A and B are shown apart, each in its own frame.
Chain A
Amino acid sequence: MVENRPIVTIISHALIWLGILIVAFPIYVTFIASTHSLSDVVAAPMPLLPGDLFWENYGTALSAGSGAVSGGTPVWFMMWNSLVMALAIAIGKIFISILSAFAIVYFRFRFRMVFFWMIFLTLMLPVEVRILPTFEVVANLGLLDTYAGLTIPLIASATATFLFRQFFMTIPDELAEAARMDGAGPMRFFKDIVLPLSMTNIAALFVILFIFGWNQYLWPLLITDNLQTIVIGIYSMLNVGDNEAEWNIIMATTMLAMIPPVLVVVFMQRWFVKGLVESEK
């Protein structure tokens, strides 16, 4: 800053660290709880240092799930379902959006603007506002409790289409001209020029959409039964009626539910920030 007062700098650092610690505290408590036995966790006050049941609790969660849930689903399977859902949504959205954006930017055809506005409308129709009818459509198509039903309804995305459209508009016309002169058709131009140029945008979108997909809640809650995702799995472990919630296993599952998206954000931070900023424009 402007003044060079070391004391102010030290206070700034200290306050940020305080903020970081407060933000991280819930995770610390969760991690500690996931390494103890159930009786230790529920005996208030719970211990504040790691216990020695780390491997046991995580092993139980991954291989068997919570015993308090009748026919508990193993967490590895929930994680697999979440991974399928996150990847299908991220890849599917990017795939259909880049194609339609390419069509809208590089062709003149009838109803082009009609299509554009139809896609724009989806921005205003989050699943939360059309819960029941969408559920009915999926039920009528016989897609309840399938991967297709879990992912396809969430794949349409105005944001991704806009982002690609915006980016295509910045590709110099000379490139398309040159490609045409060399006799390349539109798909050849798409594959050899547009797609390679779009790679950073695709990476940025992928990070955002992977997190979006992994963290879905309402939709899997409605339509899955056996194909529970890990976020929904945690909910059913908590809601065990008269049984005692197995907090240590739940907390281990919670850690497992957070690790993949958090790793994606931390290790792909550059693309994450880019994706976040661009998708809000």
Chain B
Amino acid sequence: MNKRVTFDNRVLPYLLVTPQIVITVVFFLWPAGQAVWQSLLRQNPFGTSVRFVWFQNFEKLIGDEIYYDAILVTFEFGLLVAFASMAIALFLAVMADRVIKAATAYKTLLIWPYAVAPAVAGVLWLFMFAPTVGIVAYALDSFGYLWNFRVNGGEAMALVVFAATWKQISYNFLFFLAGLQSIPRSLIEAAAIDGAGPTRRFWTIVFPLLSPTTFFLLVVNIVYAFFDTFGIIHAVTAGGPYNATTTMVYKVFNDGFIGQDLGSSAAQSVVLMVIVVTLTVVQFRFIERRVHY
């Protein structure tokens, strides 16, 4: 990672990195350190006394059923969103790959949801599914299904999954289409000459060759579902009903800002940091080696 030709200057390089380093230290490293430190403290509800409690906040988390539920909800939500958005995107990409001439036009028609803010995507779906007002809720009503995601936890989960999936399809579509277009035609032709039909060719040649893309997207989608969907959950369900859609990120926010339980919120932040670090390492370790274009 070194250049052969470099410039000599004693001061200039430090000046050049200063803006980024200052912002990194003040707004990233210092707060992250604070989070770790606060996770070892406990405050009384009025914030008048602070005690150092070692790992008690973490011990409390381990025994906390509500936190346990939040972990389950997070994984359920993440896997549903990743699976649904990747399956739909792969299907559309395979179709688009068949009609190569029109693929570019279709790309334009499918990529724009990427630009929609998660919270706004949530509001779009909220409006269609709002009890008594929403058009889909009305349709379900007339089929005899009483839809009300404000009391039914499963329905609330379904709604946030729809919104999060809808927004993510475009991203996955783009990468799957690029992956499909990089598969050598000769392989597929050879299989066709050997008499393999489209379905057989897809499962025995195309899908295995796509596996680096699929694996990469799986990690990206899980990161997206864990962290970037806060807006959807906050705007649509506020974690409810009865914590049915309270993910780990939402709970950090809720316990810290609404519940004012700073120690527990900080301990949860630390748990999240560990998850992010793990996912980042996975992404760098495995993806760098496995993706060949």
Instruction: Identify the A interface with B (CB < 8 A).
Output: 1-3, 8-9, 12-13, 15-16, 19-20, 23-24, 26-27, 29-30, 33, 41-42, 44-46, 48, 95-97, 99-100, 102-109, 112, 115, 118-119, 121-126, 128-134, 136-138, 152-153, 155-156, 161, 169, 173, 176-177, 180, 185-187, 189, 211, 214-215, 217-218, 221-222, 231, 234-235, 238, 247, 250-251, 254, 257-258, 261-262, 264-266, 269, 272-273, 276-277, 280
Contact = CB atoms under 8 A, between A and B. Distances in A.
A109 B35 CA distance: 32
B45 interface: no
Give 10 nearest A-B pairs by CB, closest first: A215-B117, A133-B34, A133-B31, A217-B231, A103-B16, A261-B115, A107-B13, A153-B27, A26-B124, A186-B7
Contact of A131 (B113, B118, B124, B252): B252
Given A217-B234, A254-B123, A257-B120, A118 B108 contact: no
A172 to B, nearest CB: 10
Interface of B: 1, 3-10, 12-14, 16-17, 19-21, 23-35, 38, 88, 91-92, 95-96, 98-99, 102, 106-120, 123-128, 132-135, 137-139, 141, 166, 169-171, 174-175, 178, 188-189, 192, 198, 216, 220, 227, 230-231, 234-235, 249, 252-253, 256-257, 262, 265-266, 269, 272-273, 276-277, 280
A132 B69 CA distance: 22
Nearest to A48: B135
A104 B21 CA distance: 12
A156 B253 CA distance: 22
Given A42-B133, A161-B20, A132 B188 contact: no
A153 B26 CA distance: 8
Contacts of B108: 266, 269
B5 A176 contact: yes
Contact of B230 (A104, A128, A262, A266): A128
B209 to A, nearest CB: 16
Nearest to B98: A12
Given A221-B234, A235-B234, A1 B115 contact: no
Nearest to A134: B31
Interface centre among A130, A234, A273 (most CB of B within 10 A): A130
A277 B179 CA distance: 12
Contacts of A109: 10, 13-14
B292 to A, nearest CB: 13
A169 B1 contact: yes
Contact of A235 (B12, B21, B110, B119): B119
Contacts of B6: 106-108, 176
Interface centre among A15, A44, A169 (most CB of B within 10 A): A44
A131 B120 contact: no
B276 A125 contact: yes
A280 B219 CA distance: 11
A155 B19 CA distance: 10
Contacts of A97: 20
Given A20-B109, A254-B120, A133 B277 contact: no
18 contacts: A12-B96, A16-B96, A20-B109, A24-B109, A44-B135, A45-B135, A46-B138, A103-B16, A103-B17, A125-B28, A126-B276, A155-B23, A173-B3, A218-B230, A234-B120, A238-B123, A250-B123, A277-B175
B206 to A, nearest CB: 11
